[in-house]
Amino acid sequence: MLFGLFMEAYMHDFNLVYITLFFVFSLAFSAGPLGVLNLGHLKSTFVSSSRLFAHEEGLITLSIKNVSPTTSWSITLYGEEDSIHLPSLKGESNTLTHLRYLPKKRGSFSYQNCYLESRYPLSTARLTLAIKEVYEGIIYPEPRGKTLEAFLNEEETHYGEEKEFDGLSAYDGSQKLTHIHWPSVAKGELSVKTFIKETQTPNLVFDFYKAGKQNEARLSQLCLWVLACEKKHLPFAIKMPKSYLSTQKESIDEILTILATY
């Protein structure tokens, strides 16, 4: 387009074309400083993110603050794997943004190389503002394995007796065959009966070695049970090879961190 305009001006020496051309150039160049003003006042910081698990998509949260009194327009936040377009960031305001993140493995991790990009006011000015801060976090093991219910069923005698009918739930292969709810099977739905245990055993103990055959599988299984216990507010303990973890001593996050960094 610019080349065509230039040729038009060159061939004809039409000042109208020259003026158009010079406006195009000047606007394209003025987009730079205006882009800097648009982007330069933004301050980004990582905010403590929600729990991240291996092979499960999680969210990395950033707080973007516009310290200028004027609105910043058309900003895109780029993370390691994801980007988010923010149409406007009002002056002197704070915005929370979440970047999707799919961790590959458990353990501690660093989330870095994030940057903000502005194509405002014109695409000719593509400006970036690197976010120098590095987010250090923990990726917990992928929660995978037998459900806590299945574990409790297997360990029924130890942890109480089923007395009162509680309702129906979907059959996942781990329940007893005697608990299958046959009327629902007749209707084409495979459901099992669930019962409330009469007595809840306070000493719910998971054994690292019994949780699976391999370490990763064991950690994933334990992670699943820990999360299920947390949901049901059940106290529990884990027999680790060299330690004994208990909710009476450690918080859930501490237990999960030990599992993540095992």
State which residue, 31 or 129, has the beta carbon closest to another protein.
31
Question: How would DSSP label each residue in 28-56?
Answer: HHHHHHHHHHHHTTEEEEEEPPPPEETTS
Residue 106 DSSP label: S
Distance between CA atoms of residues 44 and 116, nearest Å:
9
Name 48's Cβ contacts closer than 8 Å, sequence gap at least 6: 61
92 vs 155, beta carbon nearer another protein: 92
How many whole angstroms separate alpha carbon 236 and alpha carbon 204?
Answer: 5
Binding site for another protein (CB under 8 A): 1, 4-5, 8, 10-20, 22-27, 29-31, 33-34, 69-71, 73-74, 87-88, 91, 94, 119-122
**Residue 199 Cβ, how far from another protein at the closest point, in Å?**
48
Closer to another protein by Cβ: residue 122 or 205:
122
Q: Least distance from C-beta 99 to another protein, angstroms?
A: 22
Instruction: Compute, in degrees rounded to 10, the torsion defined by CA atoms 180, 181, 182, 186.
Output: -120
Of the pair 1, 177, the CB lying nearest another protein is at 1
Please name the amino acid found at residue 15: N
Nearer to another protein, 11 or 177 (CB): 11
